[in-house]
Amino acid sequence: LVTIPRDYNAAHDLLARNAQRAGKIAFIDAVSGEQLSYGELTDQSHRFANALRAQGFAPESRILLAMLDTPQWPVVFLGCILAGVVPVAVNTLLTTQDFEFMLRDSRAQGLVVSSALLPAFEPLLGKVETLKTVIVAGVDDLPENSSSNQALAALIRAQPATKTIADTCADDACFWLYSSGSTGTPKGTVHLHSHLLQTAELYGRGVLGIQESDVVYSAAKLFFAYGLGNALTFPMSVGATTVLLPARPTPADVFGILKKHQPTIFYGVPTLYAALLADPARPEKGELSLRVCTSAGEALPAEIGKKWTAQYNCEILDGIGSTEMLHIFLSNRPGQVRYGTTGQAVPGYALRIVADDGSECGAGEIGELQINGPSAALMYWNNRAKTKATFAGEWTRSGDKYIRDADGYYTYGGRSDDMLKVGGIYVSPFEVEACLMTHPAVLEVAVIGAMDADELVKPKAYVVFKSGQAATMEELKAHVKLQLAPYKYPRWIEFVTELPKTATGKIQRFRLRQKQER
Ligand code: 3SK
């Protein structure tokens, strides 16, 4: 285990580790070609921290970070932490309604937003009383008197690079990420200064063997816990180089990056690996420099792992992590991969499987996976009940069912709640149902997970219409896409005359799941 001193600032540590590499490229923007060296990253992060102080942001106040993956993302994240301000990194694919909830829940006094995402926030400016300062990234300057918004680039330019570092300690709140809940209400997950380095040491170094010579590319964005470790903490902990892509990655984008920048580590999710393998324009293995690939977010079908290894002579390390544990605690390891399993406990994390009656399961018995490790979040903000239910003393409940075999390899057995993981992101079936119910023709609806041709889960809806009314499948899909984040819409819709229910009228989703499996 890593020992972290009591007086500790995570951003200062990650930057100080690279003090002797000032000229080395830390981040590359795959679209604009912009490169930020470790020296420039340090300089700009301190300038941004000074700007926050000059604007009166107090330590422990929050700033919502809604930014595309560009080299400014780490500048803002690290700058906040240097100033003792807590960045709350949010999923950029969400809607105005989701952002309003997060701004109100976190009481963030500041917002740093990429100019392309500003329209989703505009209806909230002046409406959310606690939000005082809006900083726009991705523009050089804003026209004077256009609004009270400020340009990130201008703020950074105007400040000295003086190094003032907030007096934080390892157990102080450092940053938050929002974790999705089955009721559709996201939970502000509070992480400490010590957690970033713990994940870098245990998984980044311990499992991936990341080193200075690595070039990394993560398809998962920096606002996801998976992406944050992959593309910021791990490479910065050893002075490696990260390629960032602001847009959602298509197979052409990914292969373009793998060919042009020659990453040695590629972090993906199963849906993307399936799309890459199906791409007729995929490169030959000799064109790439991959030494290790990872997968998380949802279980990797064995076929996809085998095909990828055959195609690129490189293993995919399937693993599972969580926003609550910050990164991966259970994973396959290089040279010991067993496709179809999620591998073994990451050294530094203890795992146990617990049955419904609270007893610990033995090999071959299914139960809920629980984790004990040094990166477990402090709590869910404003949510005592869910905090108590999830963080049970030393053990954190995952909500995932697992079976362990006699060799210590774990196999995924589904969720304990109704949540679906779609392309690696949680989707609440209740949120999709509530949205479909707002369509005037819909009387009742139930949403479950169904498998696509690659054995990956996507939402499927069963819809009952009101008498004399109807809508087409395409209309209903468009209705959801208009209101919810794009990945949440049902890929299939079946029209039925009634839904299976209990005697008391509760919808029996498990019957629909059984019907699906047959
Ligand atoms: O989805 C996962 O498996 C995951 C992995 C690393 C960090 C966070 C998450 C949710």
Interatomic CA distance for residues 376 and 394, integer angstroms: 9
3-class SS letters over 161-182: CCCCCCCCECCCEEEEEEECCC
Ligand 1 atom closest to the CA of 328, numbered from 1: 6
pLDDT tens track for 92-101: 999 999 999 9
Cα gap 469→475, rounded to integer Å: 13
Tokens of 460: 């499927």
Residues facing 133 on adjacent strands: 110
Q: Is the pLDDT of residue 504 over 90?
A: no
- Token readout for 140 is 């050089």
CA of 502 to the centre of ligand 1 (A): 35
pLDDT digits (tens, 9 = 90+) for 291-303: 999 999 999 999 9
Segment (H or E) for 379 = strand 379-380
The closest-lying atom of ligand 1 relative to the alpha carbon of residue 424 is 1
Is the ipTM value over 0.85, yes or no? yes
Return the best residue to mutate from 327, 330, 369, 425 for the ligand 1 pocket (most ligand atoms within 8 A of CB): 327
- Residue 342: CB within 6 Å of ligand 1? no
pLDDT for res 508 = 85
Answer yes or no: is pLDDT of 506 > 80. no
Neighbours of 163 (CB within 10 A): 15
The whole-angstrom separation of Cα 22 and Cα 43 is 10
Tens of pLDDT, residue by residue over 462-487, are 999 999 999 999 999 999 999 999 89
Q: How far is the CA of 23 from the centre of ligand 1 (A)?
A: 32
Measured from the Cα of 320, ligand 1's closest atom is 3
Q: Is 155 in the pocket of ligand 1 (CB under 6 A)?
A: no
Give the pLDDT confidence of 296-355 residue by residue, as tens digits: 999 999 999 999 999 999 999 999 999 999 999 999 999 999 999 999 999 999 999 999
Residue nearest (by alpha carbon) to ligand 1 atom 10: 322
Ligand 1 pocket check for 222: Cβ under 6 Å: no
Q: How confident is the model at residue 147 (pLDDT cuts 50, 70, 90)?
A: confident
Q: Give dist(CA 20, CA 260) in Å, integer.
A: 27
Do the beta carbons of residue 10 and residue 16 sit within 8 Å?
no
Q: Is the pLDDT of residue 146 over 70?
A: no
Cα 424 to averaged position of ligand 1 atoms, centre (Å): 8
Per-residue confidence (pLDDT) for residue 143, from 0 to 100: 74
Confidence at residue 182, expressed as pLDDT on a 0 to 100 scale: 64
Q: Return the ligand 1 atom nearest residue 297 CA.
A: 1
CA of 58 to the centre of ligand 1 (A): 31
How is the chain split among helix, strand and coil, in percent rounded to 5? 30, 25, 40
The rounded Å distance from CA 29 to ligand 1 centre is: 24
398 lines ligand 1 (CB under 6 A): no
pLDDT band, very low/low/confident/very high, at 417 (cuts 50, 70, 90): confident
User: Which pLDDT value is given to residue 184?
Assistant: 60
Provide the b/e sequence for 454-482 (b: ≥16 CB within 10 Å): bebbbbbbbbebeeeeebeeeebbebbee
For a pocket test of ligand 1, which of 189, 202, 328, 371 has the largest count of ligand atoms closer than 8 A to its C-beta? 328
What pLDDT, on the 0 to 100 scale, is given for residue 183? 65
Average pLDDT for the chain: 95
With a 6 Å cutoff on the Cβ, whether 322 touches ligand 1 is: yes
CB-based contacts of 440, cutoff 8 Å, min separation 6: 466, 469
Ligand 1 pocket member 323 (CB < 6 A):
yes
The answer to whether 243 touches 290, Cβ cutoff 8 Å, is: no
Question: Ligand 1, atom 5: nearest CA belongs to which residue?
Answer: 321
Helix (H) / strand (E) element for 112: namely strand 110-114
Amino acid identity for residue 42 in this structure: T
Candidate from 175-184, 212-221, 233-242 with smallest mean pLDDT: 175-184
Strand-pair partners of 442:
465
Nearest ligand 1 atom to the CA of 224 is 8
Pocket of ligand 1 contains residue 106 by CB under 6 Å:
no
Ligand 1 pocket member 226 (CB < 6 A): yes
- Residue 297, ligand 1, Cβ within 6 A: yes
The CA 493 to ligand 1 mean position distance, Å, reads: 29
346 lines ligand 1 (CB under 6 A): no
The C-alpha angle with vertex 102 and arms to 96 and 105, in degrees rounded to 5, equals 140
- State the pLDDT at residue 505: 73
CB 320 less than 6 A from any atom of ligand 1 = yes
pLDDT at 6: 98
